[in-house]
Structure 1
Amino acid sequence: MAYQNVGTPRFYINIPEWLSVTGAVQLPENDTDNKLLTLPVEMSNAYDINLDFLGMADNGFLAVLGHDISPPGSNSYSIEDYTSAKVQMTNVINGDPNQDGWCYPQYSGFSITTFTGSNDIKELKVSEYINQIGSVVIGTYYDMPHSPELDLTMTREMGNSVKRIRTKGGSDLVDYRHIKSPTWGSLAAWELSYPTGSTINQALSRSGRRIWDLSFNYMQGSDMFGLNQSLSSGLSGTDFNGNLFLGSDYDAGDINMHSDVDDTGTDTHGNFNYNLLTDDNFFSQVIHKTNGGQLPFIFQPDGDGDTPGSGNNNPDQFAICKFDMKSFKFDQVANGVYNMKLKIREVW
């Protein structure tokens, strides 16, 4: 979808930052500049980073925010698993991964790729061709099941960043404060520049804070909450209510049915295939892993850009955001069907 239209939004969630905040896994000792935190995006010398993951789902991604590539198209960074094998990635914007597992960005600025998520990720490797980086955001992404209602609001906040004082003589004194995101090194946030080409004066970059008020109606309970909001995958033979598992009660793929049968020859034993951390639903992958909306995430209002012909991957389509709401409200409008409203505010 073209221009600034909202399509099917995608949320990119930083797993190491979430693990650090919960106390489950501390940030690695060799990440001396805390590059695994989404904010602030502060440029410094690039280095390899050890990784220790829990809670990764199938939809993995890697976003390097603020990188300085020289020369363009050089093998710049990769991620490895515990066997030291390179993880194969798919391009979203400017990552240009190759079959050798390295990413070859053509432009300085930022890049995003996706991959099949796994807790077996061990290390981010950085080559000598990437001089500096800002933040390294690794985690899971979630695609909304459908687009929001057409009656939505997109705001460019300016007034809270400008302070005006009128003097007794009638003159206006205007103080402009934080009207745009800080630069990522020599480039403005979410800008791309060919390393050997000329760069437009970055003081002229986009101003204002972006805000989205979105309503999602008629979301299925499986997309909103998922089947199992526990860390456990269930009890063998019964669910948590002590009821026998019956495959007919659940969607295909939700239950792993065992080969055991009862006296009537009916297969009744099984367990959940997914838990709170791995099921692909909005609560598990977005609300829970942003610590109830407290942590920043990368928001793409028209996502699914790693599928050819889908989404809008223009550089101006991404934003670092937080939920601007104290609680999440889900209104049931039919059996197992819910409405939800979100307010998403750009942060820096």
Structure 2
Amino acid sequence: MLPPTAALIATVLSHSQPSEHDGARAPPRYEREGREPIYNDHGVSGMSIMQRLLLTKERCTVVAIRSCVEWEPESFPLAATILGKPVVPLGLLPPSADAARRAATSGAEHATVRWLDAQPPGSVAYVALGSEVPLRMEQEHELALGLERSGIDFLWALRKPSGAGAAAVDADILPPGFQERTRGQGLVTTEWVPQMSILAHAAVGGFLTHCGRSSLIEGLLFGHPLVMLPIFGDQGPNARQMEAKKVGLQVARDENDGSFDRRVVAAAVRAVMADGEARRGFLAGAARMQEVVADTERHERYIDQFVQQLRSYSAVGATN
């Protein structure tokens, strides 16, 4: 199984043309430069990620992708031609929304869910950027100050930023006085959180995400509009694809180095979360994508078709 369609196509094509075939618009310079290790870092294996991907593609019989034409109709039909292999959609493999809702309303849930219980419906922006590639310290501070400046209530699942140091305590990775100033506005936790239960909670009205595929699916499963801050890998193409579908807004960044400041963070959060025409548009876009993600029968059919495809290849191999 290979990466999501838009990102996979962008990666394969960028082997020779790094700026042309990537989502709704060309990727910024900082993202292109961030891909360089994919081509140039050969590591202990002596082979780069791109070399392994191309070798895998050449030697495989069929490509299975966690996607479907309903999710990305603009790119999925191109995959087989560009890859030169049959492409089988796996569907989106969404988690159970009902199980998450039950957990979110149970009496013995996580402390973050109990905090959400005290907040008005649709009022909280859930902030989670994953743990694989944390932001740099100065970016983490600008994000924090942008959340404060927005005036929107937030729940932030914070991971230690790059450069924080092994001995850093929780208070050290936030701007001075931030937690005191935002005590009535938000909750920051550096512990594990039950993300699905949080996203299922009625108090959550939007999702500030790095746009990893799983996070997008989980957020849109509940129809949440997105504030998008991609960091690495497939996240940039994913964010441009979602922005083109009008499910949210990317945080504006410097095209060369990817930097951003508190002003643009606050503007993006307010546009997506504050009641008004912009939010209503993003809610409508997220609802359209929710129809795709939440259709469990559709995704089960994709898995059944994938199993049948594997059986057909197995049968052909047995007769040869």
TM-score in terms of structure 2 length = 0.23
Please state which structure has a larger fraction of its residues in helix.
2
Please state which structure has a larger fraction of its residues in strand.
1
